[in-house]
Amino acid sequence: MAVYTEVPFADAAALIERLNLGTLTELRGIQGGIENTNYFVTSERDGQTVEHVLTVFERLSAEQLPFYLHLMKHLATHGVPVPEPAADAKGEILHTLQGKPAAVVDKLRGASELAPTAAHCAAVGALLARLHLVGRDFDHHQPNLRGLAWWNETVPVVLPFIDEAQAALLRAELAYQNHVAESSAYRALPRGPIHADLFRDNVMFEDGAVSGFFDFYFAGVDTWLFDIAVCLNDWCVRHGGDTDGQPDPVLEQAFLQAYESVRPLSPPERRLLPAMKRAGALRFWLSRLWDLHLPREAAMLQAHDPGHFERVLRARLPNTISVNPPMAQEAVPA
Ligand SMILES: Nc1ncnc2c1ncn2[C@@H]1O[C@H](COP(=O)(O)OP(=O)(O)O)[C@@H](O)[C@H]1O
Ligand SMILES: N[C@@H](CCOP(=O)(O)O)C(=O)O
């Protein structure tokens, strides 16, 4: 369980009451998750049992958080199923617990689908496209804080912890992504608020339908294509016993067709999709290396396996020969 900050029951109860969510009856630390402290909170309001999720933010600051919370509010009020943050009487959605920023949001119903079928991938693809379109008139701006600038900053930090072949791959891929980012095709990519971490464990399904996307705390303004690539790398790979990171073409097609039924990809997006899949793999290989080798204190923290995204990256290189690093300067489509 990632409970970095223990929240006293009385403090949580006071917040729940202030948010007009009734009387707190249960406060339960959540298993899973690695970024923030999360609790399920149950309360009694007008004779009804209601459930929310209380998050204490561990790395994000009170200056960064309004972007995420207002994005969730914007999406929820425009019909995209995401947890809506609870407001107090003054309309404030960002609160403080144990001296850290905190929020209370709706608890989504259902469960994550860790072995998705084509139908699940299609449902997520279509809803992601709606999210992108609805995000167009969201008026806050914050860059993707785990984007290119962070990769350039963090690669040197993790290099001492990995072997030479991995270091060569990481350096070469970073150089390739810097090169891609300077291309005219990249500059032509449509962008807006993206989720940026829409893995299988950040989507709930109920009765086969998506009940919501959640965990928007890596969201930021970036290319829509990067968001798609992050999804393809997690939803549309071979699941089950085989975790070699190889794409599953049936799942990919289902995801992309459904996405495009709502918002067709532009020509530059089509051209740069392979490069963005590599970018998505690099981003999570890097963050997992960082989490593994530079960990924080937590009651019980399970770091994710960086090796998985190293394999995903290698599986997306042209002419994959898994022992060799890729050529950094591979041509970028114009
Ligand atoms: N709004 C929500 N509705 C239902 N369950 C949630 C919600 N937010 C978090 N959870 C549960 O908490 C777990 C951890 O949350 P997550 O946001 O992934 O943590 P972290 O921000 O630390 O990565 C999720 O896997 C899910 O089971
Ligand atoms: N999805 C990322 C880790 C971020 O943690 P999450 O629990 O907030 O999704 C990964 O798998 O590396």
* 77 and 135 fall within a common domain: no
Nearest-angstrom CA–CA distance, 277 and 231:
9
Nearest-angstrom CA–CA distance, 127 and 120:
11
Ligand with the closest atom to the CA of 5 = 1
Confidence of residue 198 (pLDDT cuts 50, 70, 90): very high
* 179 and 222 fall within a common domain: yes
Portion of the chain with pLDDT greater than 90, in percent: 85
The 10 Å Cβ neighbour count of residue 86 is 20
* 65 and 191 fall within a common domain: no
Ligand 1 touching residue 38 (CB < 6 A): yes
Ligand 2 touching residue 200 (CB < 6 A): no
Q: Which pTM value belongs to this model?
A: 0.93
* 102 and 126 fall within a common domain: no
Please report whether residue 324 resides in a domain. no
- Which atom of ligand 2 approaches the CA of 287 most closely? 12
Q: What is the CATH number of the domain that holds 148?
A: 3.90.1200.10
Residue closest via CA to ligand 2's atom 7 equals 33
- Range(s) of the domain holding residue 190: 118-315
pLDDT digits (tens, 9 = 90+) for 139-187: 999 999 999 999 999 999 999 999 999 999 999 999 999 999 999 999 9
How distant is the alpha carbon of residue 178 from its chain centre? 22
Ligand 2 touching residue 215 (CB < 6 A): yes
* CA 191, 311, 37, 47 torsion-angle sign: positive
Q: What is the CATH number of the domain that holds 102?
A: 3.30.200.20
Average pLDDT over residues 281-290: 97
pLDDT digits (tens, 9 = 90+) for 80-122: 999 999 999 999 999 999 999 999 999 999 999 999 999 999 9
* 80 and 223 fall within a common domain: no
pLDDT digits (tens, 9 = 90+) for 243-276: 678 999 999 999 999 999 999 999 999 999 999 9
CA–centroid distance, residue 112 to ligand 2 (Å):
13
Please report whether residue 322 resides in a domain. no
* 32 and 129 fall within a common domain: no
What's the token pair of residue 331?
A: 């041509």
H-type helices in the chain, by residue range?
A: 9-18, 65-77, 118-134, 148-158, 164-181, 184-187, 224-235, 249-262, 267-293, 306-315
* 168 and 302 fall within a common domain: yes
* 62 and 157 fall within a common domain: no
* 32 and 165 fall within a common domain: no
